[in-house]
Homo-oligomer: A and B are copies of this chain.
Amino acid sequence: MAAGRLSPEDAACRLADLPYANLGFARVDTLREARTGVPEVILAERKEPDEVVAIARRLLDAHGRVLVTRASERAALAVQAWRPDAAWNRRSRTVHIDDRPPTPRIGSVLIVTAGTSDAGVADEAAETADFCGSRVERLADVGVAGLHRLLAQLPALRASEVLVVVAGMEGALPGVVAALTDRPVIGVPTSVGYGISGGGFAALATMLATCAPGVAVVNIDNGFGAGVLAHRINARAAGGRSA
């Protein structure tokens, strides 16, 4: 019988690496950064503002920085009541605090949007990738209804390590972008649209179905997931972990 490559002792070491903080209502994964390169982030949706603050305190203690996503106005104000200097971006619904000394950002993540309505989701991706330690740039409003706006930006597309392409309605932009560059493309469908494109399902299907290879897709409106993945790719390309 061929055993696995790790001895049981090694496996034990893996597990022993992974404690957590039990707050009663939540178990905070304080070693997630060691494991995945990015600290645990707080998804504020369906959490009470005081729960958000309690988890944020714990994470800030452990990591010197903390990011809250999908923050309602109530949650954001609760965080600012505790830490008035917390940075709140209303459009992306994110709040973050960073008590570490300024760190240079690494590599280059370019976030591209098809229309002006996709800006909130793009902002969430940008805030997240920046929090992870990536340098982020933006390219707005280059959807396929005016293709020349995109073609004029080919050098910018080709100057980044990874592209996050955010689009609602028919979601054709990521495939078109992937066909024009050799960079990895992360498609983010948005729930912008109505009728057949309501809820973002048409955009999601289009991005998955694209015949241009080099595209992968995250959940509808999931700017956070796209930001983390973009950072992971960018960090590999930049030759190291986040700052």
B19 and A3 contacting across the interface, CB-CB below 8 Å: yes
B220–A232 contact, CB under 8 A?
A: no
Interchain CB contact under 8 A, A22 and B3: yes
B175 touches A144 (CB 8 A): yes
A218 at the A/B interface (Cβ < 8 Å)? Answer: yes
Contact status B18-A148, CB under 8 Å:
yes
Smallest CB gap from A218: residue in B: B216
Contact yes or no, A179 B35, CB < 8 A: yes
Chain B CB within 8 A of A101 CB:
no
Interface residues of A (CB under 8 A from B): 1-6, 8-16, 18-22, 24-27, 29-30, 32, 35-38, 40-41, 43, 45-47, 51, 114-117, 119, 140-149, 151-156, 161-162, 169-172, 175-176, 178-187, 189, 191-222, 224-229, 232-233, 235-237, 239, 241
14 of the cross-chain contacts (CB-CB < 8 Å) are A4-B20, A5-B156, A6-B151, A9-B12, A11-B16, A12-B12, A15-B148, A26-B140, A145-B179, A169-B210, A170-B209, A195-B199, A197-B208, A216-B216
